[in-house]
Amino acid sequence: MKLAQAFALWALSCSAALADEAQDAFVESNLLSIFYHELGHAVIDVARVPIFGQEEDAADVMSILMIDALFKEQPAQDIAYDAAFGFQAGADDAYEPAYWDVHGPDLQRYYTLVCLFYGANPDAREDLAIELGLPEERAIGCEDEFSLANDSWGPIWDDLEAKAPGKSLRFVEPKGKLAESLSAEVLRYEVDALNATFALPRIVDVRIESCGQANAFYDPNDRTITLCAEFEPYLRDLYRN
């Protein structure tokens, strides 16, 4: 094999590996954002958090606050960037927004994520806000929006953290190939990390199960967060498209 051909094959292999890493990073970021959102519902339920307004909005806000609080600056920016595009991809679907739904339209959730994340550290995140198209009219108030959200959720997390460490999140190991999936790897690690940080008043199970659709939900009846197995391939399709 000629040297030029060998180099071309090596470069192609490296390019494919980098593409796989980028896809995995996108999937992981969105899995974390989704998991934090459902964890928000769990916290609201078991800690009896009073909510004035839509609970879905409150869970979105908690997810953003967790990304900001739990990660160093660059990883936090990477996660917020990919999670924002997860919402944008949903907004770009051909379907009309379901205005009757308890979830806000994906594009509105996109701008709320960008605004709150930017508002947490405007000096370090100005370039990110510009790249993600945050309008100046919204950006002006984002620091105040973040402060209000942080003041609302802060005392709740302070109370839970005071009881740390705990084992109130319980990852239920999936069976078969699901146990080797990226979803399982992400949730397994995250449950351990969060258990070292705080303790909920009641045990909450975290599961990965096939549900016939790309979805995730919290069930207050049995206090279970379920990430549907279909979510990971859905996110990979979003990335490729």
Strands 224-228 and 216-219: antiparallel
Phi, psi of 58 (to 5 degrees): -65, -40
- Residue 7: inside a domain: no
- Residue 158: inside a domain: yes
Q: Kindly indicate the confidence band of residue 8, based on its pLDDT and cuts at 50, 70 and 90.
A: very low
Q: Are 217 and 226 in contact (CB under 8 A)?
A: yes
Q: Kindly indicate the confidence band of residue 163, based on its pLDDT and cuts at 50, 70 and 90.
A: confident
- pLDDT score recorded for residue 1: 53
Domain that holds residue 61: 25-240
- Residue 127: inside a domain: yes
Helices 73-91, 122-131: axis angle to 10 degrees equals: 30
95-131 pLDDT, tens per residue?
Answer: 555 544 555 577 888 999 999 999 999 999 999 999 9
- pLDDT score recorded for residue 71: 95
- Residue 235: inside a domain: yes
- Residue 108: inside a domain: yes
State the total domains in the chain: 1
What would you measure as the largest C-alpha separation in the chain, in angstroms? 69
> Sign of the CA dihedral 94, 98, 101, 102?
positive
Residue 87: is it exposed, middle or buried by C-beta count within 10 angstroms (0-12/13-18/19+)? buried
Mean pLDDT of the 10-15 span: 42
The pTM for the full model equals 0.86
Mean pLDDT of the 4-27 span: 61
- pLDDT score recorded for residue 15: 45
- Residue 231: inside a domain: yes
- Residue 8: inside a domain: no
49-82 pLDDT, tens per residue?
Answer: 998 878 999 999 999 999 999 999 999 999 999 9
- The mean predicted confidence, pLDDT, of the chain is 87
- Residue 18: inside a domain: no
194-240 pLDDT, tens per residue?
Answer: 999 999 999 999 999 999 999 999 999 999 999 999 999 999 998 88
